[in-house]
Amino acid sequence: MIIDAHAHIFPDKIAEKASAGISAFYDGMPMDSAGTVDELLQKGGKAGVDRFIVQSVATIPEQVASINNFIADSVAKFPDKLIGFGTLHPDLCDVAGEIERIISLGLRGIKLHSDFQEFNIDDERAFPIYEAAEGRLPILFHCGDKRTDRSSPERLINIVRRFPGLTVIGAHFAGWSIWDKGAEIFADYLKNNEDARIYTDCSSSLYAMSPEHAADIIKKFGAKRVLWGTDYPMWNAEEDLARFMKLPLSPRERELILGENALRMLSDNSPTEVS
Ligand SMILES: [Zn+2]
């Protein structure tokens, strides 16, 4: 079972524009795809990916409901392939109500990208999201950017301390472009907090380091906490999977990272087992 645990999708009409916007935000980082569901399934399928955790980010509160509907509609079209994460925004009036709606739509988590959404992840403004999600929905945080500290690993640790029942996934080894710092900070925390509900993913990271370096970072988190993901439409699934397979890891570690960890993480936050 291979799960791409970090894939962005957009409605066909705006996919091209949305992925161009992401590319511009990341200083012209080239995007592999436009970001449609069809292309995700086609390219992921070719690479041998079985399932995809799909999400999209609302940059303003007014977009939240329609994006959640779009994610739910997409999952309804491909229920065996897609696992949906909803979006939220700290400035949304009725955060708790939208979390109930996210759950009733069958979505299994929440994605936040605070650099696009312009808030510091540990700001009190965002606490209603964490309060309502704690023990019910995992939150995938974009984490790290050397140009800003809105989503820094330190801030994510502040959230973990304050909401111990919340499952967090700190994307990009919990520190995009500051990879070693993210791993260091989390390794330190995990030493004394083995039961912490913390995951990370290796999306948009393997391209930037040697296989040995990536394996070292994975060992700092522990292989049972790491998810594989492409950050679609940023990276090509086949290429990123090939990069992952070059890491000096055991077959068991690969199995965990490629699928088993994601299923456990989802099941732990759900009244019914996810398989
Ligand atoms: Zn993302």
Express each pLDDT in 55-84 by its tens digit.
999 999 999 999 999 999 999 999 999 999
Average pLDDT on 176-204 reads: 95
Question: Ligand 1 centre and the CA of 11: distance in Å?
Answer: 16
Q: Where are the domains of the chain?
A: 3-268
Using a pLDDT cut of 70, give the percent of the chain over it: 99
How close is the Cα of 271 to the center of ligand 1, in Å? 26
Q: Which amino acid is at 9?
A: I
pLDDT of residue 30: 79
The whole-number pLDDT of residue 111 equals 97
CA of 112 relative to ligand 1 center, distance in Å: 8
Element of type H or E holding 55: strand 51-55
Spatial CA neighbour of 260 closest among 227, 229, 222: 227
Q: What is the mean pLDDT of residues 211-221?
A: 97
Question: Tens digit of pLDDT for each residue in 239-254?
Answer: 999 999 999 999 999 9
**Pair 110, 142: CB distance under 8 Å:** no
* 137-189 pLDDT per residue, tens: 999 999 999 999 999 999 999 999 999 999 999 999 999 999 999 999 999 99
Find, among 10, 147, 26, 27, the residue nearest to 87 by Cα: 10
* 214 CA to centre of ligand 1 in angstroms: 19
**How many angstroms separate the alpha carbon of residue 230 from the centre of ligand 1?**
9
pLDDT digit string (tens) for 16-29?
Answer: 888 888 887 777 87
Q: What local confidence, expressed as pLDDT, does residue 34 receive?
A: 83
Query: What distance in angstroms lies between residue 113's CA and the mean position of ligand 1's atoms?
Result: 7
pTM listed for this prediction: 0.95
Q: What is the largest CA-CA distance in the chain?
A: 48
Question: In the predicted model, is pLDDT for residue 43 greater than 80?
Answer: yes
- The CA 7 to ligand 1 mean position distance, Å, reads 7
Q: What architecture does CATH give domain 3-268?
A: Alpha-Beta Barrel (3.20)
Spacing, Cα 142 to ligand 1 middle (Å): 6
- What is the model's pLDDT at position 142? 96
- Can you give the pLDDT at residue 20? 82
